[in-house]
Amino acid sequence: MGLSTQGIALTFGLLAFLSIIRWMSPYKRRLPPGPTPIPFLGNVFDIKASAPWVSYTKMLETYGDIVYTSVLSMDIIVLNTEEVANELFEGRSQIYSDRPYIATRDLFGWEWATSLLRHGEKFKTHMRVYHQFFRPEAVLSYRPKQLQKAYAILPSLLEDPAGYAGHFEVFAASVVMSVVYDYDIGSHDDVILNAAKRAIDLFLRVATPERAALFAAFPFLMKLPSWVPGQGLKDALLSKQYAKDMLDMPYNYVVHSRENGSAQPSMVCDALESYQILHDKDNPEMVTEIKASAATIYAAAVESTSSFLLIFTLVMMNNPEVQERAQSEIDNVVGFYRLPNFDDLPALPYVGALIREVKRWHPAAPLGIVHSNIEDDFCRGYFIPKGASIVPNIWFQSNFVILRRNRCSLGPWHIIQRSILSQNPSVLIAF
């Protein structure tokens, strides 16, 4: 047995010993109920990697609103109801506003992403930027760009209906690029579009929760040289470069537009003016955060918008009677000589309810945003260890009213005729 093999064996043995000691601690006995973990591995085999929210919902039937699971060294607390999620995320936000340590974040070059930032000055700066440019009254000013891009996608859908998934992705990207950078995406082959797409696709492929748990349990793996066999470390180098391109390329477009006098209003352009930044050297720290907050908006909005449109398409295909009723309402209000716009929404209650119902039926982010607590805490008599990953089961929270009847049913008439919207969890906005 070589020295390196001995070291690995010793590390495994030490971690196994520590996990046993940890399991025997008095605090451990007061953790929320959950499936019995395998020593060291935890509940790896109890959680379906492709749809963990389904696994967590099944656990609710046995263990209740708050469920404890673990993966290697990670403590995971699942909140299955809106009441307990609000109790922690809103009632105790001073404790639960942090994010868990995610080993793959820095390794793959995404340490800048708002959703992965620990609670601190950087996070607060991002929140100020978002509040300035995405508060409700500010968002109204983006509607003309949204309509322009929505109308522009229609010929593509008519000419190539089979390519709807790609059209949805380009549409979502074009709206966000227009609002955030005032950048016009020319086609599927757009250079900046593809730079952002390859960065997001690679990160989602390589920065899996399983890999994050592995690196958190064995930090030395992140320090191995790139020539060591295995694709993970090679992917890390590539991901860092792709992430840098995603941050820099659209931002540089705005900078060049300002220099040649062609810049139009956009989040990035307005932010630079708001903070009186003429050149990057004026306030390099703020430039970094503007880049990061803009790129985060892009990644989050494109993924959620394109996912929603795909889900909506599935719903229309499986529920033709719903599609017919929505189309009939649009025809009655809009007629046949123009396209609908935002001003028509008050006269389209069924269509509005349909959109809300699709969001409820299958949220684009079924587990919302994972939080973490900055100190040990207790909730309803259960111990919540410091640094745990606190996961809101948005999928169940948005479905539990309907689950009592038929979890697979879709019906905006529930919202209109029975006013279920007032009873539904307010989880359409991520915690």
Phi-psi category of residue 39: left, alpha or beta, with phi > 0 → left and psi -120 to 50 → alpha: beta
Mean pLDDT lowest for which of 27-31, 210-214, 376-380, 402-406? 402-406
**Pick the residue with more confidence: 80 or 17?**
80
Candidate from 24-28, 253-257, 263-267, 318-322 with smallest mean pLDDT: 24-28
Q: Is residue 124 part of a domain?
A: yes
Per-residue pLDDT band for 430 (boundaries 50, 70, 90) equals very low
Residue 388 structural domain = 1-100+370-392
- Per-residue confidence (pLDDT) for residue 13, from 0 to 100: 57
Q: What is the model's pTM?
A: 0.83
pLDDT for position 389: 93
3-state secondary structure of 382: strand
| pLDDT tens digits, one per residue of 267-322 | 999 999 998 887 767 789 999 999 999 999 999 999 999 999 999 999 899 889 88
Distances (CA, A) of 57 to 66, 84, 100, 255, 420: 11, 15, 22, 47, 21
Pairing relation of β-strands 382-384 and 389-392?
unpaired
pLDDT above 60 for 167:
yes
The per-residue pLDDT for 419 is 34
Pair 110, 222 in one domain: yes
Q: What is the pLDDT of residues 335-364, one digit of tens each?
A: 999 999 999 999 998 898 888 888 888 888
pLDDT of 212 above 90: no
Tell me what the mean pLDDT of segment 179-205 comes to.
92
Verify that 225 and 115 share a domain, yes or no.
yes
Confidence of residue 92 (pLDDT cuts 50, 70, 90): very high
Q: Are residues 61 and 16 in the same domain?
A: yes
pLDDT tens, position by position, 138-158? 899 999 999 999 999 999 999
| For residue 412, pLDDT beyond 60 | no
**Rounded to 5 degrees, what are φ and ψ at 389?**
-85, 115
Q: Domain check: are 287 and 386 in the same one?
A: no
Residue 143 placed within a domain: yes
Q: Kindly state whether residues 106 and 203 are assigned to the same domain.
A: yes
Answer yes or no: is 406 within a domain.
Answer: no
- Same domain, yes or no, for 148 and 41? no
- In this structure, the answer to whether residues 26 and 95 fall within a common structural domain is yes
Q: Is residue 21 domain-shared with residue 37, that is, in the same domain?
A: yes
With pLDDT > 90 as the criterion, what percentage of the chain qualifies? 57
Model pLDDT, residue 154 = 95
Residue 404 is assigned to a structural domain of this protein: no
Please tell me the predicted confidence (pLDDT) of residue 186.
74
* Number of separate domains in the chain: 3
Give me the pLDDT at residue 411, please.
54
CA–CA separation, 410 vs 318, rounded Å?
10
In the prediction, which pLDDT does 213 show? 78
pLDDT of residue 363: 86
Query: What is the rounded average pLDDT of the residues 367-383?
Result: 93
**Residue 63 within any structural domain of the chain:** yes
Residues 61 and 158 in one domain: no
- Same-domain pairing of 247 and 175: yes
Instruction: Answer whether residue 84 is part of any domain.
Output: yes
| Ordered DSSP codes for 146-210 | HHHHHHHHHHHHHH-GGGHHHHHHHHHHHHHHHHHH-----STT-HHHHHHHHHHHHHHHHS-HH
The model's pLDDT over 222-252, given as tens digits with 9 standing for 90+, comes to 777 666 666 567 788 899 999 999 999 999 9
Of 278, 295, 318, the position where a domain reaches its end is 318
Residues 130 and 245 in one domain: yes
Give residue 431's pLDDT band: very low, low, confident or very high (50, 70, 90): very low
DSSP 87: H
Q: What percent of the chain has pLDDT over 70?
A: 83
Residues 225 and 245 in one domain: yes
In this structure, of 17-21, 30-34, 187-191, 357-361, the range with the lowest mean pLDDT score is 17-21
Better-scored residue on pLDDT, 392 or 103 = 392
Residue 116 lies in a domain: yes
251: CATH? 1.10.630.10
On whether residue 22 sits in a domain, the answer given is yes
What residue type is 259 in one-letter code? E
CA torsion angle 308 314 318 319 (round to 10): 30
Q: Which of 13-22, 97-106, 193-202, 410-419 has the lowest mean pLDDT?
A: 410-419
